[in-house]
Amino acid sequence: MKIPVSIVSGFLGAGKTTLIRQFLQQDSGAHKTWIIENDFGEIGLDAAILKGKGATIRELTNGCICCTLAGDFETSLRSILLEHDVEQIIIEPSGVALLSDIIKACTSPDLKGLLRLASAVTVVDARQCELYLRNFGEFYRDQLRYSDRIFLTHADQIETLYGAIDAIQWENDHAWIYEESADRLHLPSLLFPDEVNPSQCEGGCPQAVTAGEALAGHSHDHAHAQHDHTGPFTELTLTAVTPLPMAVWEKKVRRLIATCGSQLLRLKGVVPAAEGNVEFQFAGQPLFFQVTTLAAAGIMLIGTSLDEATIRRIWED
């Protein structure tokens, strides 16, 4: 029997891990689920968040499974399929991965006899969609075009919601688009739909086209060989060993965000504080931070043309 696989893609900070966490809560351990968790940087915060939630995690960090870690990804996937008791697999690529390349890997001759691509999901921050389409062009479009399901986050902001939906439908007129929050959807049936009848959408949904069919029939040339993360995106990891008051860490992080400006796309990590470890999350919108039980590992920044010297000076000040 082929093992169903769901790819949950999405740009930096869109909400992929939150969607998977909600899926695991709804699945409630009913299936033996494995997750391949890929972080572009050295810090695997998303894997740490998902551990202990009812799935087994295989972590691949410091690269992207659609290019620099492609060999490790296929080896890990084959190992899970052949050597472990597994009923379903979720793949969470890094936020800067090309969805089309992940689909190609999953439908390669070496793997197609072992797995069934159940869904190719993209999580989209409705507030940022039009901006990222303008700024990142073909790269961002790839995640939209090759999806068969698109989940919108922050869809409660009407001023950006309709523009995001129009932009998505311009790029992809076959994917189902979900505006509802994840806790109002039955995610197990959406990520792992029935093989014969994949439609779990009620009323007015467009006819489905599977991710594999979209890939086979797509005529655009995206020059995948030029997909080089050392080009548009840079990653910096900042270590944090000595506990400081949470207010001091907050001030440092806010200075980083202000200094980097629009060049900073994502900031996340956990630092040791006098009040307990503190988790920071930023993806172009208001900074989020809270005391957490997650282990302190430092802060990771992803952006374009980041000034490493200035960033490290602020951090060490």
Residues 82 and 167 in one domain: yes
The residue from 196, 226, 256 where one domain ends is 226
The residue from 226, 245, 279 where one domain ends is 226
Residues 122 and 184 in one domain: yes
Residues 287 and 183 in one domain: no
Q: Please tell me the pTM assigned to this model.
A: 0.86
Q: Are strands 33-39 and 56-61 parallel, antiparallel or unpaired?
A: parallel
- Domain of residue 43, CATH code: 3.40.50.300
Q: Could you tell me the mean pLDDT of each successive run of 10 residues in the chain, 317 residues long?
A: 95 94 94 91 81 88 70 87 94 91 90 94 95 88 96 89 95 96 95 64 41 47 43 86 95 97 94 96 92 93 94 94
The SS3 call for residue 267 is strand
Residues 264 and 214 in one domain: no
295: domain range?
234-316
What pLDDT is stored for residue 202 in this prediction?
42
Q: Provide the domain count of the chain.
A: 2
Q: What is the DSSP string of 81-146?
A: HHHS--SEEEEE--TT--HHHHHHHHTSTTTTTTEEEEEEEEEEETTTHHHHHHHHHHHHHHHHHT
Residues 143 and 189 in one domain: yes
Residues 113 and 73 in one domain: yes
The residue from 226, 242, 273 where one domain ends is 226
